[in-house]
Amino acid sequence: MYRYLFFDADGTLFDFDEAENRAFYLMAEKLGLDATHEQLVKYKACNEACWKAFERSELTQATLKIKRFEDFFASEGLVLDPALASRTYQSYLSEQGILYEESRPLLDALVERGYTLFLASNGIAHVQRGRLAQSETERYFKDIFISEEIGAQKPDKQFFSVMLERTGLESKKKECLMIGDSLSSDIQGGISFGMDTLWLNKDGAHKNCTGLKPTYEIHALAEMLHLFGIPTERSPRP
């Protein structure tokens, strides 16, 4: 049924939580801040709020890059340069190509079975490109779509329109599947654009209170193989 699979990056294939943790502490050390776990949690809250505002088109990505640090420093009473913090953080984050354990085996299996894969990310272009290079995962994807390069972000229909126009799949929408962990970004965007969607709700940790109805819901990446009828263990070669 599906031949063309559009994967979100962070929280779906890439372990963004771990990448964010590492980049934050490296940034803090570079700026001379002896950061605590509590400060990491506060930064993550500021960062998430800014990304949600970006999804709603309330912030540009250029503003987001600085504002998350402005908000964090203000909440902590810190007198530090948010622009410098942003540049430093992004530099370290671009080096964190940390995949979930299931990601590479899944991608290998899907490519081996003839599926065509694409990446669709709301991330910052040079950060995402750096992480793809570091993880050596570009080879899996026929094309890569990043909001900063496209000029639109998920769930905006323009993001999805660019994807299908550039891939030449406008007439094959029923053969396309949007896969991601975010209801408000990946699933909302896919549904609004008339694509089938697969929500990765890791370990069933989140309750869907949005009214959105993804076509599929899975709790682990490996469940995709079962969904597509792909054996999870390869038979031994004769």
Which residues are tagged catalytic? 8, 10
Contact predicate 28/102, CB 8 Å: no
How does DSSP assign 153-191, residue by residue?
A: -TTSHHHHHHHHHHHT-GGGGGGEEEEES-IIIIIHHHH
Which residues sit opposite 177 in a β-bridge? 5, 196
Distance CA 87, CA 74 (A): 18
Distance of CA 76 to the CA centre of its chain: 28
Distance CA 102, CA 156 (A): 29
